[in-house]
Structure formats: C-alpha cells, structure tokens
C-alpha cells in the first residue's frame, strides 16, 4: 500500500484563498448591481434611462397626494401635464425623481427658477385627467420613448416602455412597445369619451397654472413684504409662488395681506 503525501497547511490555505476570492468578487458585483448601480462601468448602466429607485418615490408621492386631496382626482389643472404633475414634488422631496440621472441637474435648475417642471427635462409623460376609481389597466405615466432599458441598470432583450398603472404604482411594469401603444390608445380614448382632456381635465381644480403676468401683479404679506411680477397660486399646497430675481419663493396663504389683480385688456 502506497501512502500518498499529505497536503501541506500552506497548500490548503492557498486553495481556500483561490476559492474565496472569486466568491467575494461575485458578492461585491451583485451588491453594486442592486444597491449602487451608479458605480457600474458605463457599459453596464444607462444614466439616461429611468431610475428604479426614483420610480418608487413617484408612486409613494402620488399615494400621499390622493390621501391629502381626498377627492379621487390625480393631479390636474396646470398649464401642461408636466405642470400639473409638479404638485407631487411636495411629497417626493425633489423634482429629480421625475427624470433620469443625466437630466437631473437641468430639471432641478428649471424647477428652482420656475416653480414647476417641463417635459424637456423629464423622462416621463403623464396622462392627465384620471381618477383613482378609473379602470386599473389605464396608463398613468410612461417613459417618453421606446427603449430596451427597463431602468438605468437593467437592459432587456426587447423594445418596450416602463409604465405606471393603478395596479403597478409601487412596482412599475415594462411592456413591449406594441402593447404599450395599444394601452396608451385605450387610455387616451377613455379620457376623450369621459370628457377628461384639455380644459375639461381641470374643471373645478385650479392648480400650478400660472395666473401671473396678466392676472396677479402684486402680492403684499402681513409683514409688509411686497412681491411683483409672476405670481402663481397653488391651491393644493395653499401657497403663492413668487418669482423674485429668477428664484421662486413660497408665501403661505395665511401670510398674505392682499393681492392686486390686473384686468386683461378686452378685444
């Protein structure tokens, strides 16, 4: 009988190291992928795609809005759908959640200067005029163009759109482009049939719409502060937003002494 040479302690240690290092690298890669995707090399992420984390903030802010508004209507009544949607910044905390990482600085700057949002700096589009008791499969929000990127760090093998519906508010869905077009057409048709488009979407619900340069021209607070120029009234927040030197300032309604209106010129 031949005795095989025993494995030396140094050899056993080397084997454990050779096994543990790849395992550790895999665990680190998974951690980065799921929790810190911005650390991934550019080939593994897309900063112009939607952020999966920000989508959760949009969903929760919409839930909070519906609870506070208590009338069943989703945000409406702004000068544009993006303007109406900007009311949710109160609950989301930042306008940045409504866009991609690459457009965040531009949207944040625009919001600071104008007190609202604009589609030019957003990666989502909004179907204004829906209610919480509408059919669940209608599309509330969707990514602005066809893409393979479900979010900034997940690329799929087909072209589609991330969408938010009443059933996927807390977990956005990614559907093929053809299905998106069908469901978006159904949503638009539903809004038309129920007279929820255009001015009808804003009935009895003034919102972020500017009533500034040709309506409210001066605001005076109880402390004697005077604001002139572009002034907006935000009924959901019970606030006036006043542009001063290109920066929007907030004045609570209970701090206002009076406002001066400019009557629009007749025809």
Lowest-pLDDT range, 30-34, 83-87, 232-236? Answer: 30-34
Q: What confidence category does residue 63 fall into, taking pLDDT thresholds of 50, 70 and 90?
A: confident
d(CA 115, CA 223): 23
Q: Which residue has the higher pLDDT, 87 or 17?
A: 87
Question: Looking at residue 227, what is its pLDDT?
Answer: 87
**Are the C-beta atoms of residues 162 and 177 closer than 8 Å to each other?**
no
Number of helices and strands in the chain (H, E): 6, 11
**Per-residue pLDDT tens digits for 243-258:** 776 677 888 777 888 7
**Per-residue pLDDT tens digits for 127-172:** 999 998 899 999 999 998 898 888 767 788 899 999 999 877 667 8
Q: Which residue has the higher pLDDT, 204 or 124?
A: 124
Q: What confidence category does residue 234 fall into, taking pLDDT thresholds of 50, 70 and 90?
A: low
Burial class (CB in 10 A: 0-12, 13-18, 19+), 220: middle
Question: Looking at residue 139, what is its pLDDT?
Answer: 94
The model carries a pTM of: 0.61
Question: Looking at residue 78, what is its pLDDT?
Answer: 80
Phi and psi at 135, nearest 5°, equal -50, 140
| Nearest residue to 227 via CA among 206, 212, 243 | 243
d(CA 121, CA 127): 17
Lowest-pLDDT range, 4-18, 61-75, 79-93, 145-159? Answer: 4-18
Question: Looking at residue 16, what is its pLDDT?
Answer: 61
| Nearest residue to 104 via CA among 86, 87, 121 | 121
**Are the C-beta atoms of residues 220 and 257 closer than 8 Å to each other?**
yes
Highest mean pLDDT among 26-35, 83-92, 248-257: 83-92
| Beta bridge partners of residue 179, listed in sequence order | none
Which residues, other chains included, contact 188 with Cβ-Cβ below 8 Å and sequence gap of 6+? 127, 197
Q: What confidence category does residue 213 fall into, taking pLDDT thresholds of 50, 70 and 90?
A: very low
Which residues, other chains included, contact 212 with Cβ-Cβ below 8 Å and sequence gap of 6+? 229, 230, 231, 232, 243
Question: Looking at residue 265, what is its pLDDT?
Answer: 46
Q: What confidence category does residue 184 fall into, taking pLDDT thresholds of 50, 70 and 90?
A: very high
pLDDT of 208 higher than 60:
no
Distance (Å) of CA 173 to CA 31, 50, 53, 116, 170: 23, 12, 14, 27, 10
d(CA 84, CA 57): 17
pLDDT of 221 higher than 80:
yes
DSSP 141: E
Count of C-beta atoms within a 10 Å radius of residue 101:
19
Which residues, other chains included, contact 89 with Cβ-Cβ below 8 Å and sequence gap of 6+? 61, 95, 111, 117
Domains of the chain: 52-202 (no CATH), 216-261 (2.30.30)
Question: Looking at residue 35, what is its pLDDT?
Answer: 45
Question: Looking at residue 179, what is its pLDDT?
Answer: 94
Distance (Å) of CA 167 to CA 59, 62, 139, 191: 11, 13, 10, 18
């Amino acid at each position: 009988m031949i005795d095989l040479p025993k494995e030396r302690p140094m050899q056993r240690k080397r084997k454990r190291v050779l096994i543990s290092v790849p395992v550790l690298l895999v665990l680190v890669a998974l951690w980065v992928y799921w929790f810190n995707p911005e650390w991934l090399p550019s080939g593994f992420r897309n900063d112009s795609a939607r952020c999966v984390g920000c989508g959760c903030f949009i969903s929760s802010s919409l839930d909070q809005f519906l609870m506070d508004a208590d009338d069943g209507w989703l945000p409406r009544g702004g000068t544009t759908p993006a303007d109406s949607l900007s009311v949710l910044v109160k609950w989301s905390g930042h306008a940045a959640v409504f866009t991609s990482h690459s457009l965040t600085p531009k949207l944040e700057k625009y919001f600071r200067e104008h007190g609202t949002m604009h589609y030019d700096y957003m990666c989502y589009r909004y179907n204004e005029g829906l209610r919480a008791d509408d059919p669940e499969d209608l599309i509330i929000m969707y990514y602005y163009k066809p893409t393979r990127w479900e979010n900034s760090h997940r690329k799929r093998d087909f072209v589609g759109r991330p969408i938010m519906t009443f059933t996927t508010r807390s977990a956005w869905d990614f559907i093929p482009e053809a299905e998106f077009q069908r469901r978006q057409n159904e949503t638009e048709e539903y809004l038309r049939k129920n007279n929820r488009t255009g001015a009808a979407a804003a009935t009895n619900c003034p919102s972020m719409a500017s009533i500034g340069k040709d309506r409210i021209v001066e605001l005076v607070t109880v402390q004697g502060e005077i604001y002139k120029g572009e002034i907006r009234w935000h009924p959901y927040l019970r606030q006036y937003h006043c542009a001063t030197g290109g920066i929007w300032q907030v004045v609570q309604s209970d701090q206002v002494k009076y406002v001066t209106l400019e009557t629009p010129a007749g025809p």
